[in-house]
Amino acid sequence: MRAFAGHAFAEPALLAQALTHRSAGSPHNERLEFLGDALVNQFVAEALYRYWPKADEGALTRARAELVRESALAGIARTLDIGPKLVLGPGEMKTGGHRRDSILADAVEAVVAAIYLDAGFERCREVVLPWFDTMIAALPPPNKVGKDAKTRLQEWLQGRQRPLPVYALLSEGGEDHARIFRVSCTLAEPAHATEGEGSSRRAAEQAAAGAMLEKLDAM
């Protein structure tokens, strides 16, 4: 495979290594992951610096942490359809390693490094920066970034001297290894209710709070 993720590789072996997990033997992608991590942080830092010309260092640092966290990079991996292309050892294949966030995120960083080694810094930057455009555009204002949905909802209500939300567990199901929780978030003033799902009760509460913030923003 020569072309992948918007780049045509002059050295396909670099891409093959980037997509090879250590469980499949050597050469694997751990060294590439190390280099890619530094590149991703630099690209995202530059993008945020330009996107928020008046944000302070703290806000920029928190935003970068949001964009380069494991789950965010795993989301990029799924968009690029990296999972099915990963080379995994038998054990990881059996346990669904191609769907695991940690493995997907590491592979994204490794692919970034492979592009850099194949074509240089400027070409790598040109290919990789668009992967983050949607997430950067979706960031909350600089003074809110890094705060989870429940915290932001609480601050919204407290700032208007309104009662805090009430969260209630609606249902819990699924297999032991894949539990699904459904939670409601109810406000007294304004009178609204939303629901959210997650793999834990906490995650479901965050999803419900996020839905509530969207509803309030639309008012």
Residues flagged as binding site for Mg(2+): 33, 106, 109
Task: Give the annotated binding-site residues.
Answer: 33, 106, 109
Give the Cα separation of 91 and 66 in Å (integer): 31
* Active-site residue, selected from the candidate residues 66, 92, 109, 205: 109
As given in the structure block, the two tokens for residue 80 are 């690029």
**176 counts as catalytic:** no
* Active-site residue, selected from the candidate residues 37, 92, 118, 205: 37
Q: How far, in Å, are 159, 183, 217 from residue 213 at the CA level?
A: 14, 15, 6
- Whether 199 and 188 have beta carbons less than 8 Å apart is answered as no
**37 counts as catalytic:** yes
Nearest residue to 139 (alpha-carbon basis) of 26, 62, 198, 203? 62
Give the Cα separation of 188 and 168 in Å (integer): 14
- Whether 129 and 43 have beta carbons less than 8 Å apart is answered as yes
Q: Which residues are catalytic, by number?
A: 37, 109
